Structure 1
Amino acid sequence: MLDISLRVRVHVETLPATQNDMGVCDAFEQYAPVGKPDIMNAPHPSKVAGIDSTVPAPAHTVASAPAGSSPAAPPSPLNAPAAVLQDRLAGWVSDLTTLHELTERLARTHTLTAALEELLHAGAALVGARRGLVVLEPADGLGPDTTVGLGLGRADLGHIETVPRSSLPHGRLLDTAAGLPDGDREITQPDLFAEEGLDPRHREVAARLGFAASYALPLSTGAAGRLGAAAWLYDEPAEPSERRRHLAGLYARYAAEHLARLLEVERTRAYLATMSEELLPSRLPRVAGVQLAARRRAGPRGGGDWYDALPLPDAALGLAVGSVTGSGPSAVAAMGRLRASLRAYAVMEGEDPVAVLSDLELLLRLTEPARSATALFGYCEPAARKITLAGAGHSPPLLIGARRTEFVETSVSAPLGMLACWEAPSVEVHAEPGETVLLYTDGLLHRTGEATDRAFARLHAAAAGVPRALRGDPGAVADHVLRTVLPDGRDATDSEEDVVLLAARFE
């Protein structure tokens, strides 16, 4: 802790000055070089472009004399340097405290969109602007590319994108990634309409949107290179002071490091999601007598829940859902191997679901002894409206119809890989015309956060409450169950649990 005249207390170890490989004292020298006390002792700046500054002004330790009192005696030559130093030091600490608070708020963001929005708000406060935009455009070309605005709607951002890139300050920063020495370059346009050689389209858009000046900073790191650029727009001709530019530069460097970390997380999630989707059926087969629909909600780290539907000989259909323990790339890869193996066994002996799961259990036990999985496989005969089911540690499916909604009673069995030899009897499900058989994974129950019996009761009530108008569409049935069992958007939010639903409606 650092105590200064009992007026200001700040955590030095987290000051953003240390983000730049400099000590606090070095940062102090950079803020106000010796011999320029007037700059640092200047009063709080007035409104910039009609906006009240939210950056704290340097605190002064010399109180002003009350009205009507006699003029105070001038300070002695011995006390004057100490008062100036104390006043200057309080101003430095005030600036660093502001940076500390803003960087803490940024560190609490966990998504790219939230971080970019926080960057815009904090930067606007530091430079005294009201509007701005940040363009995320990594130099490696791997994306994601996006533009986020502050005080600018989609139409406004669209107008700005019609301006030639070379005329926009953030556009020039994005196009000169190799010419950014340590990310310190900045572009200031204090008066757009007085600037000679300004692109006519830029002048037209500025007049339409009502901004007259801009200030832009690059977002780059030594390791990741160029990430993007941010620009703030002033309603009137203006430019940030040297103090404000320095504070904004320090903040932008920290923000770039934070964005680089979030970018890696976002890319990893996207890769896992893509890999999971590619390992699942790109489309469901069309078989006479039955309609199919599937829904999947993957967790942020990628999980092992899967589904499958494949045509079999004699106009039959194989239906399967399952879940592999664990999460992340290894679970996704194991899920792909398990699904591919089940497909092979289903083609060879799909009419006997118990044999299919027995072969799958043996393969899993021999190739991945440290992993277990649950699975439910059904041999569907659409013409007879019949499904022969076998399950391994999996939740029972639901039969949904106009006159009944009930769980299919399956035999209690252990998950695959848990026993030396797995085998359980199969059951047959006979559906009426218009009824739907709903297969699902345990993630649907776990995401409710309730006890198992309550989760099953919630699922049953959701299925029984499907409106009559939706019962003819298996996709609508699955959507209704998802929204009802997991209300308030919990079906779409990030969760450690994957959710898979596979609905088959018989005609």
Structure 2
Amino acid sequence: MSAPHLPKVAGIDPEVPVSTHTAAPLREIPAAPGAFIQDRLAGWVSDLTTLHELTERLAATATLDAALNELLHAGAALVGARRGLLVLERAGSTTPSTTLGLGLGPADLGHLETVERSATALGRILDGPPEAADARDGIATPDLLGDQDLDPRHREVATRLGYAASYALPLASEAAGRLGGAVWFYDEPGEPSEKQRHLVGLYARYATEHLARLTELERARADIATVADELLPSRLPRIPGVRLAARHRTGPQGGGDWYDALPLPDHALGLAVGSVGGSGPSAMAAMGRLRASLRAYAVIEGEDPVAVLSDLELLLRLTEPARTATALFAYCEPAARKVVLAGAGHTPPLVLGDRRCEYVETTLSAPLGMLACWEAPSVEFSPAPGETVLLYTDGLLRRTGDAMDRAFARLHSAAASVPKAGRHDPAAVTDHVLRAMLPDGLDRSDSTEDVVVLAAHFD
């Protein structure tokens, strides 16, 4: 006789024995973690939040100087110090070192430089092997004045400046290598805690990568600016009856804005400004070729600016059909105070004097390279004695951020506001116009526009 079968329940096999190790049912809620664990968790969250905020602020810096200042301030906050010193000095590099102080004036930095480097923790970090363990973890000197082996000159400077302890840290990472070091000074004996060292070490490694990127970026920008300067006139000619001044700023990527001033036969003068489309090395190279070609055409037929630009347009269309450019060429006879000019899609000159400030009326024309055959009539005008003719590229207008009509009005207002005492100095005129148009200066790193201003003052 077979044994009776137990009733079946969906999803459960009644013949499978119940494990004797099954946990007992939960009869009460577990107690909350202790206050100690909660405090530690809250501390970790706070530290991570602080580190995140500081690295975000550092990442927002776009220039090397801004990043170095941010690093010094953030490091001081993390280690609990009030003053600090940073030296950017890549091992094996020929680039001059950069020294920056926090809470230290030029005289204080001068005193610190009189201490032999090997006698300071920062000097041991900068001159020692990068793989040294103590250098990687930082060097703490909790009681400088109590150190019997302290260099006498270091003791004298520490007493004069009023610091009693220091903590030095390398600015190094595996990818970037060692870029330099930083040291923070304490007014009283002490040193950062283990947690502070850990946080500032994490921050310093991230900062090193950011500084390496900015260093390479600024080096590339400096190289671009150097090449652009070499492609432009090294000096302006001296022609009786006229004085010249020029200001030029290349964008961070390198652009195609240019100017030129060249002496011509019979004591004449050729003035030119222009802009090649695009940016980067290609635009700079095209700008150099265009400027060199214009100089040749100006010597051959400079008395006819239309012919000069026509020849230039033909050359551009044959050799670089995919490129466009704007240009303005003016043939000047200073003795007769006569100017004949032609423009190809370029902004009109501005004439500034004691009795007038107005744009020269030029005919509307297309840029070079846009039409099958370029041609436009020339314009002739006579600047009065003491007047200045201002040539410029549209980068000056675009850098203002205004619409073009407002930018033209702003330029007119800037030129009209030149003080009378400076209206007979072309350099003073250009500087005043630039200050009025670009209050932040020509060196703004967030602008991609080139700027060219060329002033000719007729005596």
- Into which bin does the TM-score normalised by the smaller protein fall? 0.7 to 0.9
Q: Which amino acid aligns with 1:134?
A: L
Distance in structure 2 (CA, Å) of the matches to 1:420 and 1:240: 73
Does residue 1:479 correspond to 2:431, yes or no? yes
Q: Within 5 A, what are the aligned runs for 1:45-124? A: 87-124=39-76
Q: SS at 2:200's partner residue?
A: helix
In the alignment, which residue of structure 1 is the partner of 2:150? 198
Q: TM-score, normalised by structure 1?
A: 0.80
Distance in structure 1 (CA, Å) of the matches to 2:149 and 2:429: 61
1:409 pairs with 341, 355, 361, which one?
361
2:378 pairs with 405, 423, 426, which one?
426
Does residue 1:186 correspond to 2:138, yes or no? yes
Distance in structure 1 (CA, Å) of the matches to 2:146 and 2:301: 80
1:146 pairs with 98, 108, 116, which one?
98
| Shift in Å, 1:161 | 1.2
In the alignment, which residue of structure 2 is the partner of 1:29? none
| Shift in Å, 1:87 | 4.8
1:231-253 residue CA offsets vs partner (Å, 9 max, x unmatched): 00011111112222122111111
Q: Within 5 A, what are the aligned runs for 1:270-349? A: 270-349=222-301
Distance in structure 2 (CA, Å) of the matches to 1:397 and 1:179: 61
Q: Which has the larger radius of gyration?
A: 2
Q: Which amino acid aligns with 1:364?
A: L
| Shift in Å, 1:80 | 11
Q: Within 5 A, what are the aligned runs for 1:442-457? A: 442-457=394-409
Q: SS at 2:244's partner residue?
A: strand
Does residue 1:435 correspond to 2:387, yes or no? yes
| Shift in Å, 1:211 | 0.6
Q: SS at 2:335's partner residue?
A: helix
Change (3 A) 1:262 1:183: farther
Does residue 1:493 correspond to 2:441, yes or no? no
1:248-267 residue CA offsets vs partner (Å, 9 max, x unmatched): 11111111111111112111
Distance in structure 2 (CA, Å) of the matches to 1:430 and 1:88: 81
Q: Given that residues 188 and 216 in structure 1 are in contact (C-alpha distance below 8 angstroms), is that contact kept between their aligned partners in structure 2? A: yes
1:8-32 residue CA offsets vs partner (Å, 9 max, x unmatched): xxxxxxxxxxxxxxxxxxxxxxxxx
Distance in structure 2 (CA, Å) of the matches to 1:462 and 1:242: 58
Change (3 A) 1:451 1:96: closer
Q: Given that residues 183 and 219 in structure 1 are in contact (C-alpha distance below 8 angstroms), is that contact kept between their aligned partners in structure 2? A: no
Q: TM-score, normalised by structure 2?
A: 0.88
Q: Which amino acid aligns with 2:404?
A: T
Distance in structure 1 (CA, Å) of the matches to 2:443 and 2:221: 15
In the alignment, which residue of structure 2 is the partner of 1:132? 84
Q: SS at 2:329's partner residue?
A: strand
Q: Where does the alignment leave 5 or more consecutive residues of structure 2 unmatched?
A: 1-29
Q: Given that residues 84 and 102 in structure 2 are in contact (C-alpha distance below 8 angstroms), is that contact kept between their aligned partners in structure 1? A: yes
Q: Within 5 A, what are the aligned runs for 1:138-287? A: 138-143=90-95, 145-180=97-132, 184-287=136-239
Q: Which amino acid aligns with 2:403?
A: A
| Shift in Å, 1:183 | 6.9
| Shift in Å, 1:421 | 1.4
| Shift in Å, 1:455 | 2.2
1:392 pairs with 344, 358, 370, which one?
344
Larger mean Cα displacement after TM superposition, 439-448 or 142-151 = 142-151
Q: How many residues align?
A: 429
Q: Which amino acid aligns with 2:440?
A: G
Q: Given that residues 349 and 356 in structure 1 are in contact (C-alpha distance below 8 angstroms), is that contact kept between their aligned partners in structure 2? A: yes
Distance in structure 1 (CA, Å) of the matches to 2:346 and 2:130: 56
| Shift in Å, 1:347 | 2.1
Q: SS at 1:184's partner residue?
A: helix
Q: Where does the alignment leave 5 or more consecutive residues of structure 1 unmatched?
A: 1-77
| Shift in Å, 1:227 | 0.7
Q: SS at 1:456's partner residue?
A: helix
| Shift in Å, 1:331 | 2.0
Distance in structure 2 (CA, Å) of the matches to 1:403 and 1:83: 82
Q: Given that residues 183 and 221 in structure 1 are in contact (C-alpha distance below 8 angstroms), is that contact kept between their aligned partners in structure 2? A: no
Q: Given that residues 298 and 499 in structure 1 are in contact (C-alpha distance below 8 angstroms), is that contact kept between their aligned partners in structure 2? A: yes
Larger mean Cα displacement after TM superposition, 227-236 or 272-281 = 272-281
Q: Given that residues 285 and 311 in structure 1 are in contact (C-alpha distance below 8 angstroms), is that contact kept between their aligned partners in structure 2? A: yes
Change (3 A) 1:182 1:410: farther
Change (3 A) 1:368 1:101: same
